[in-house]
Amino acid sequence: MVCRSRHTGTAILTGNTPPEEQDSGRTVGPQGKAVSAMAAQSSDQPEQLNITSVQFLTVAEVAAMMRVSKMTVYRLVHSGELPAARVGRSFRVPKRAVEDYLRHAYFDAG
């Protein structure tokens, strides 16, 4: 069952959830608590991405690299043209994604 906190308005997952209130997109652990999809996967599956080898850039670094404003970078991130990871209230963009974006955006104005 999902209840809302009076003070913060956040959803709280409690024990036995009736079938009509179950969220099919969520995985529930042994004690009725929601667990992330990553934790629900078995450990014998190969890892798809080695996150330790990825170099992330800030929005300001991406803007300097592309020689555009930070607002332009935010627009690219929000539109989905430039992939980014949200860290707290800021974004981090993989360096490889910036290089790929620039490579595919380039055209010869002959």
Gyration radius (Cα) of the chain, Å: 20
Q: Which of 6, 7, 15, 10 is nearest to 34 (CA)?
A: 15
What are the domain boundaries of the chain?
2-39, 51-105
pLDDT value for 109: 78
Domain 51-105 has CATH 3.30.110: no
pLDDT digits (tens, 9 = 90+) for 63-82: 999 999 999 999 999 999 99
Higher pLDDT, 68 or 49: 68
Q: How far is CA 106 from the centre of its chain?
A: 27
Residue-averaged pLDDT of the chain: 74
| pTM score | 0.54
